[in-house]
Amino acid sequence: MSDRRNALEEYVAMKFQTTYKYARPTIASGATPVEKGDVKTPWFGVECKDWNTKSFSINNDAWLKIRAEAAAEYKEALYVVENKSGNRLAIMDLDEWFEMLNELMELRNKLEDTNG
């Protein structure tokens, strides 16, 4: 495992800790039967990858595996990628992203209605 990949997993776990204080990189980057994915959260099956290229490429078989592992734990699949330029992207199914957006907007509307 590369230091850069470790750094990406640590970064993602740290960012998740703002909403879930127990978020952390998984044991052995999810290579155990106990924990899948690279970052432990209750909502997302997170896989982190970095490429020593300037572009991003997502292998369909890898994406299907990430989705299947997340679905087995009733989580949304989240694929975090970083290229050698340091650009980071969070990739997820578009329909699932819109569902999350709709939930967020409903909560904001409720807060606005409550607080005026």
Confidence of residue 113 (pLDDT cuts 50, 70, 90): confident
Q: What is the arithmetic mean of pLDDT over 95-115?
A: 93
H-helix or E-strand spanning residue 96: helix 94-115
56, pLDDT greater than 90: no
1, pLDDT greater than 80: no
Mean pLDDT of the chain, nearest integer: 88
From the CB of residue 63, how many other CB atoms can be counted at a distance below 10 Å? 15
Query: What pTM was computed for the model?
Result: 0.82
In what order do the strands lie in the sheet containing 88-91?
24-25, 39-40, 44-50, 76-82, 88-91
Q: Which CATH number fits domain 3-115: 3.40.1350.10, 3.40.50.1580, 2.40.50.140, 3.40.50.300?
A: 3.40.1350.10
pLDDT over 90 percentage in the chain: 67
pLDDT over 70 percentage in the chain: 89
